Each structure stands twice: as structure tokens, then as C-alpha cells.
């Protein structure tokens, strides 16, 4: 019975439509990470209002002519985000057409739904003027929620790609509540990081003492600056310890390698975070820090999704 299922999984994995879905899913994930980084660049360059108060049009135009730098940056972000939506729709359609793992089919549906939510949150930032130099509580809240939805979207897209081929482990038994709690806390770290990045953009750290170079030193975005590094240090350290403990209980080489990957990215992220603070959060360093955060999230999702299920741990 087990050999029959394994043989069926191999046959389905070699199906042309399954291979096409897998290639599209990984392409979609790579494009998504690029769109996320470019979105951060929009914030860093204060280009969020580059297209005025219009959405989805740019200053009332489908394609703006003779655009300013800010308008070109914002329009490019909207165009690449629109292509992401089309890729998500294609992934959803292909998942219904190809004999992929049912988990990948559900992940593709979740990915498309979360892309829609992502676009609505982005539109809200523009339509409610929560862009450029706005330093309101409302903007901080929406930015944090935007980041949480982004991480859920990345998780869904990662699972769609990882589970594209039949025969993957059933997943999750060795993760347990501790692992999923750490994953939830990592989302919280990301939300705090989004608020900190907003504060660093609006109130750039000064040369000495970490006080803002401009603006109100008592502004809540400045006072919350310390939360993210402290929370990241605690959760990251716990994640390193958990990954080491999980590795000792794993029998398959692939999962063991993934625990090493998670630990390595956490340590790289610690280094990037320290450099970001030391260099006073330059835009390029913020992008490096964000990329490593996304990479860590992808690695953790793949680790948890690929953990052996009940009865498979010793194989």
C-alpha cells in the first residue's frame, strides 16, 4: 500500500502540469520577494504619494508621461504589484488544472486571497494619505498590519511552492505548539520592525545618542525604536535554541539541513540588525535587513511544512 502511494506520487510529480505549477510557484515567490523589497524602497524614498491621491491609476493616467522620480518609483511598484496579482491568479487557475498536492492547491487559493488583501491595504495607505511624511498612529497601525499580511502571503506562497510536488512529508508533528508560537512571535517581530523602519525613515537617527536628527524626539515612533531590536534578539535566540533541539530529534537529512539554515539566517540577521543600528539605518541597509527577514521567514515555513508527520520521524 505504501509503495503504491509512493509510486503514484512519483508519477504525479513528473506530470507536465505539475512541473509547470512548481516552476510558476517558485517564480511567483521570487517575484513576491522582489515586490516586497521595492515596496520598502518606495517608503525609503518618500515616494508613496508619487501618483497623487489616485488609485489604481497614477495621477489619473494609466501610464504617466514625463513622470518625476517619485512618480516613476510609485508607478513601477504598482506595475510590479499588478503583475504579482496576475501571477497569483495564474497560480490559482493552474492549481485547479494540475494534479498537485491538495495542500498546494489550498495554499494557492490562500495566496491569491492574501494578494487581494495586500493590494487593498496598499490602496488604503494612498487613499487615506498615510504616505510620504505622515507620522500618524493610523499609518503605524496600517503599516504593521500590512507587514503581517505580507508575511502570511509569503508563507502561503512558500507552501504552494514547497508542496507543489506530491509525496512531500505530511508535516508538523515535531513542530508542535512551541514552534508555531515562535512563528507567531516572529510575525510580531516583523510588525515591530515595520514600525521601526517607518520611524527611521521619518526621523533619521542622529550622529550621536540615537536621538532623531529632525522632528520631535518624544514622538512615539522614536520612543518605540528600542522595541524591535530587543524583541528580535529574544525571539531570534529562542528560534536558534529550538532549531538545535529539533535537529536532535530529526532523522531525515533534509529537515536537519533546514534547521541549520534557519540558525544561520538568524545569526546573519543579528549581524545585519547591528549594522543597521551602527550605520544609522541607511536605506540600502534597511533593504538588506528586510531581505534577510523574508529569507528567514521562508526558511522557517519550509522547515515547519516539511517536518515529518506522526509515524514518519524515524524514517
In this structure, are 111 and 244 located in the same domain?
no
The pLDDT of residue 51 is: 84
Q: Do 22 and 149 share a structural domain?
A: yes
Asked whether residue 134 falls in the same domain as residue 150, the answer is: yes
In angstroms, the CA 84 to CA 281 distance is 28
Residue 256 in grid coordinates: 536537519
CA distance 282 to 292: 16
Determine the structural domain holding residue 226 and report its residue range: 170-315
Does 294 share its domain with 260? Answer: yes
- How far, in Å, CA of 21 to CA of 170, rounded? 20
Structural domain ending residue among the three candidates 168, 185, 200: 168
Are 73 and 213 in a shared domain? Answer: no
> Using CA atoms, how far apart are residues 35 and 28, in angstroms rounded to an integer?
10
Whole-Å CA distances, 253 to 10, 34, 280, 306, 314: 20, 30, 40, 11, 11
Same domain, 218 and 196: yes
The pLDDT value given to residue 209: 46
Domain match, 86 and 197 both: no
Report the alpha-carbon distance of residue 156 to residue 107 in Å, rounded.
Answer: 5
End residue of a domain, out of 131, 147, 168: 168
Shared-domain flag, residues 133 and 278: no
Are residues 266 and 152 part of one domain? no
CA 89 to chain centre: 19
Co-location of 164 and 207 in the same domain: no
Predicted local confidence at residue 309, as pLDDT: 59
- Residue 219 sits at φ, ψ, to 5 deg, of -60, 145
Do 176 and 267 share a structural domain? yes
If the chain, 315 residues long, is cut into consecutive pieces of 10 residues, what is the mean pLDDT of each piece? 42 77 97 96 87 77 81 91 96 93 94 96 87 90 96 97 78 69 96 94 68 64 93 97 92 90 97 94 95 98 80 43
The predicted model scores a pTM of: 0.88
For residues 146 and 125, what is the distance between their CA atoms, to the nearest angstrom? 10
**70 carries an active-site annotation:** no
User: One of 3, 12, 61, 74 is an active-site residue; which one?
Assistant: 74
Exposure b/e, 58-93, CB count within 10 A at least 16 = b: bbeeeebeebeebbbbbbbbbeebeebeebbebbbe
Q: What is the pLDDT of residue 295?
A: 98
Same domain, 260 and 187: yes
Cβ(208)–Cβ(148) under 8 Å?
no
Amino acid at each position: 500500500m505504501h509503495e503504491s502511494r509512493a509510486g503514484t506520487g512519483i508519477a504525479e510529480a513528473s506530470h507536465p502540469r505539475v512541473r509547470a505549477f512548481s516552476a510558476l510557484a517558485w517564480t511567483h515567490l521570487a517575484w513576491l520577494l522582489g515586490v516586497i523589497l521595492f515596496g520598502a524602497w518606495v517608503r525609503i524614498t518618500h515616494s508613496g504619494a508619487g501618483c497623487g491621491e489616485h488609485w489604481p491609476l497614477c495621477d489619473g493616467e494609466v501610464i504617466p508621461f514625463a513622470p518625476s522620480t517619485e512618480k516613476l518609483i510609485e508607478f513601477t511598484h504598482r506595475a510590479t504589484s499588478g503583475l504579482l496579482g496576475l501571477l497569483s491568479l495564474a497560480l490559482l487557475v493552474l492549481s485547479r488544472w494540475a494534479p498537485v498536492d491538495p495542500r498546494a492547491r489550498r495554499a494557492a487559493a490562500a495566496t491569491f486571497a492574501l494578494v487581494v488583501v495586500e493590494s487593498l491595504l496598499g490602496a488604503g495607505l494612498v487613499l487615506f494619505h498615510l504616505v510620504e511624511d505622515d507620522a500618524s498612529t493610523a499609518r503605524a497601525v496600517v503599516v504593521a498590519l500590512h507587514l503581517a499580511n505580507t508575511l502570511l502571503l509569503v508563507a502561503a506562497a512558500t507552501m504552494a511552492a514547497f508542496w507543489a510536488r506530491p509525496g512531500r512529508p505530511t508535516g508538523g508533528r515535531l513542530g508542535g505548539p512551541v514552534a508555531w508560537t515562535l512563528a507567531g512571535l516572529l510575525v510580531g517581530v516583523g510588525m515591530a520592525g515595520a514600525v521601526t523602519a517607518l520611524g527611521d525613515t521619518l526621523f533619521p537617527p542622529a550622529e550621536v545618542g540615537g536621538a532623531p536628527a529632525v522632528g520631535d524626539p518624544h514622538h512615539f515612533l522614536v520612543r518605540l525604536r528600542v522595541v524591535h531590536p530587543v524583541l528580535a534578539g529574544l525571539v531570534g535566540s529562542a528560534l536558534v535554541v529550538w532549531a538545535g533541539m529539533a535537529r536532535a530529534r530529526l532523522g531525515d537529512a533534509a529537515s536537519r539541513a533546514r534547521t541549520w539554515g534557519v540558525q544561520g539566517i538568524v545569526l546573519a540577521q543579528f549581524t545585519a540588525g547591528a549594522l543597521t543600528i551602527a550605520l544609522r539605518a541607511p536605506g540600502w541597509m534597511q533593504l538588506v535587513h528586510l531581505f534577510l527577514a523574508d529569507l528567514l521567514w521562508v526558511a522557517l515555513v519550509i522547515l515547519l511544512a516539511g517536518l515529518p508527520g506522526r509515524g514518519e520521524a524515524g524514517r
